Amino acid sequence: MSGCLCLANAKLVLADRVMTGALTIEDGTIRDIAEGDHLPSDAVDCAGDFVLPGLVELHTDNLERHLEPRPEVDWPHLPALVAHDAELASTGITTVFDALRCGSIHSGKARYEDYARKLATELLAARTAGLLKISHFLHLRAEICSETLLEELAAFGPEDRVGIVSLMDHTPGQRQFRDMSALKAYVAKKRGMNDGEFAEHVEQLVDLQRRFGAQHEAGAVTEAHRLGAVLASHDDTTAEHVATSAGNGVGFAEFPTTLEAAQACRAHGIAVMMGAPNLIRGGSHSGNIAARDLAQADLLDIVSSDYVPAALLLSAFRLAEIWADLPRAIATVTRNPARAAGLNDRGALEVGQRGDVLRVRQAGDTPLLRGVWSLGDRVA
């Protein structure tokens, strides 16, 4: 942890305004914020660049891409973890909740085995050994359509830094995959299935949901409470889905698929999270509601990079164009996700907050990272 860092002559993105000033970090914590263009002799001259809080990522599939760079191609875990960590740091993410799937299927072409417990142990060991640049927590993706969800969740304890448990119901024909052709295109490409194998896969998932769905959902809610984790829903589509989520104590909704669901989330006080790729591309690759539409309807609270880490910073600046409000847009990738995950020590440029900050320069409508600091230490 560095001793002292001063970033001066910067446009500081505060909670309610952008202010020209200097920010000082001492021993990993923001100690001073001063207005004006004064440039202390030992300060980093930001030359008018933006300085904003480090990005907070609640849901990313990026680690899986490093662990399995191609279908059926396994990569050594520690190099994958370190590469994943470095990639996130290079995109301005300073806090991440690494999404690990819990719940396995042991038969069929789409089978997958339990890996979350082993990988979590390796991730936490790497963190303890000081091998990682940024702050890591666990996000356990509770797969309702699986055979062994509750056994796998039971292997985790409060010491594992499980910050989020999300309820994932990927039963074909509903939620994210109401459009069966979209599901087929996704799964068949990933797993190399022919028509018969895909039909068997669909039948298997429907059967698993029928046999275990209610038990797994109730058990995952109980396990989230035991672990002290925030509960999230996933792909809510109807007001009824959202009412169930509210009854379960869900704190935020990942990627609601319809305007109806997003409006119901607002009515129940559930924060709405959408994907940065959806926002940047102008729509969902699965044919669901566009993040831009929710932003324009004032129904977007949090943005996640999902499967493109570099999309997170870019999405915030795109939102700033929609809302004409940069501080509000930056909050969707900093303060809002931090608070939704129960973290009150980061996500804002305020005295006493963690010294996780970014220096950003704009090139037209594109933000360019010029520096990333985690606890005051430069990591990118």
- Chunked in runs of 10, what are the mean pLDDT values of the chain (380 residues)? 88 98 98 95 96 97 91 91 98 97 72 82 96 98 89 94 91 61 62 70 74 87 97 95 96 96 98 97 84 97 96 98 98 98 98 98 96 98
Strand partners, 274: 303
Predicted local confidence at residue 25, as pLDDT:
98
Number of helices (H), then strands (E), belonging to the chain: the values are 13, 16
Task: Give the chain's radius of gyration (CA, Å).
Answer: 21
Say if CB 373 and CB 356 are below 8 A apart.
yes
Domain boundaries, the chain: 1-53+347-380, 55-345
Tokens of 186: 């996704």
What are the start-end ranges of the E strands in 193-283? 230-234, 252-254, 271-275
The helix (H) or strand (E) run that includes residue 246 is: helix 239-248
Predicted local confidence at residue 212, as pLDDT:
78
Say if CB 259 and CB 296 are below 8 A apart.
no
280 vs 265: CA distance, rounded Å: 23
Tell me, yes or no, if the two domains 1-53+347-380 and 55-345 fold the same way. Answer: no
Antiparallel, parallel or unpaired: β 29-35 and 93-102: unpaired
> Could you give phi then psi for residue 19, rounded to 5 degrees?
-130, 135
* Fold (CATH) for 1-53+347-380: Urease, subunit C; domain 1 (2.30.40)
pTM to 2 decimal places: 0.91
Cα angle vertex 336, ends 258, 284, to 5°?
A: 30
Buried residues in 12-38 as b, exposed as e (16+ CB within 10 A): bbbeeebeebbbbbbebbbbebeeeee
C-alpha separations of 203 from 65, 111, 146, 232 in Å: 27, 13, 13, 27
**Number of neighbours of residue 360 by Cβ within 10 angstroms:** 24
Predicted local confidence at residue 284, as pLDDT:
84
Length of the chain: 380
Assigned CATH for 55-345: 3.20.20.140
3-class secondary-structure state, position 111: coil
Predicted local confidence at residue 211, as pLDDT:
78
